[in-house]
Copies of this chain bind each other. A is one copy, B any other.
Amino acid sequence: MKLIIQKYGGTSVGSSSRILKVAHRVKKWYQCNYDLVIVTSAMSGETNKLLSLLNEVSTNNKKWPRELDQVLSSGEQIAAGLLATCLNEIGVPSVSYAGWQVPIKTNSAHGKARIDSIDTKKIISELNKKKVVIVTGFQGVDQLGSITTLGRGGSDTSAVALAAALKARECLIYTDVDGVYTTDPRIVQEARRLSKITFEEMLEMSSLGSKILQIRAVEFAGKYKVKTRVLSSLTEFNIPIKEESTSGTLITHEEDKKMENAVISGIAFNRDEAKITITGVPDTPGVAFKILGPIAKANIDVDMIIQNSSNDGTTDFSFTVNRTELNEAIAVLNNSVRPEINASEISSDNQICKVSVVGIGMRSHVGVASQMFEVLSNEGINIKMISTSEIKISVVINDKYMELAVRALHKAFELDQK
């Protein structure tokens, strides 16, 4: 089976005329005898419209996440049905499936559900009838039969997970950019498109704020070795897909990559986080769990975690959370954590950003960290937190320096040069 998964984002299906364009693109593929499963987001603006309605009837609709998902999931259902109708209209037999109809089974974590399994029987049966199958992105169904959503950008995850389950030849993520860049071209003019990037690098790029592909999509792609290509839905068709195809950015395995011996592949950044510091924490075993247990229980995502070594029997504990969850996190700490651990002070800072250099070449090159710190120092930028992994180094700095830091690092690591 020459099976290709294609995912179209909200902008690509943002109006009936754009849906028609997508349909004609899909038709070209269909005429080349590909089997096709198309994953679609909601029409752009639709999800926000539904959120406004929810905000009008409830000041805190996140408290009823099942209903939130029930409402939000209708957006993709509409887009999928419209696209299937449009394909049928132009002579391509097509059928749409909502997540629960496939079914795409998830756990019950409404708003950030994880896919447990995908039943491919119905889809395969439709493909065998030479139909193009449209599947709603972003959503699934839990064991109770409640609709769940996968979180912002979840349609990417749907697409890659379907590609894995159906053993697709390639998963094409159509978006409004033409690939993954060394950094955001809006900030650094000299940013270059990467023709390939490894899963691991992409994982770091995604989690660090290059919002091209949802991190769980990359995880899935890596785990199940799904060949995933990010490309623009605005450019010309490129059929059939060849190994050597240079459109977009192919996310690939390290061994596949004809490396240009680059140490660093890209610079990622985000200003979505806030930093929380708890000072005067008794330096006893289990204290990290006592702090982060209640945070996890409240379903608040934590990114960086840093604990300084103690001097006087107490320690300082810092971590970052999404800015939108800062107040909730502080409330949890005051209510559930502070009485438990006797901390002297809880402070927070939401004027921060995180800047990271990412590259698989870093593994075998010493000195990347020191070079990074030197560049920042030369620009007079103070570092508030540092966190490292095998293939990335992240620093938290004052967010007013973000652009400056990204440009300086992009130049210093010669990312503007092929």
Contact = CB atoms under 8 A, between A and B. Distances in A.
A77 B53 CA distance: 13
A160 interface: no
A74 interface: yes
A59 interface: yes
A104 B186 CA distance: 51
How many monomers of this protein are in the complex? 2
B77 A64 contact: no
Given A74-B78, A81-B68, A85-B67, A56 B16 contact: yes
A82 B57 contact: yes
Name the residue among A19, A74, A98 with the largest chain B CB count within 10 angstroms: A74
A68 B89 contact: no
B82 A53 contact: yes
Contacts of A17: 56
A314 interface: no
Interface in A87-112: 88-89, 95-96, 98, 100-101
B82 A146 contact: no
A334 interface: no
Contacts of A77: 70-71, 73-74, 77
Interface in A17-64: 17, 19-20, 23, 50, 53-54, 56-61, 63-64
Contacts of A82: 53-54, 57, 67, 71
A98 B85 contact: no
B85 A58 contact: yes
A71 B81 contact: yes
Q: Which of A56, A67, A77, A84 has the most CB of B within 10 A?
A: A67
B16 A146 contact: no
A70 B81 contact: yes
A364 B53 CA distance: 55
A212 to B, nearest CB: 28
Most chain B beta-carbon neighbours within 10 Å: one of A20, A54, A63, A81: A81
A5 interface: no
Interface of A: 16-17, 19-20, 23, 50, 53-54, 56-61, 63-64, 66-68, 70-71, 73-75, 77-78, 80-86, 88-89, 95-96, 98, 100-101, 122, 145-147
Given A16-B53, A98-B147, 18 more contacts: A16-B56, A16-B57, A19-B57, A20-B57, A50-B78, A57-B86, A57-B89, A58-B89, A66-B95, A67-B82, A67-B95, A70-B96, A71-B82, A71-B85, A73-B77, A74-B74, A74-B77, A74-B78
Nearest 3 A-B pairs (CB), nearest first?
A16-B56, A71-B81, A74-B74
10 contacts: A17-B56, A53-B82, A54-B81, A67-B81, A67-B84, A68-B81, A71-B85, A74-B74, A74-B78, A98-B147
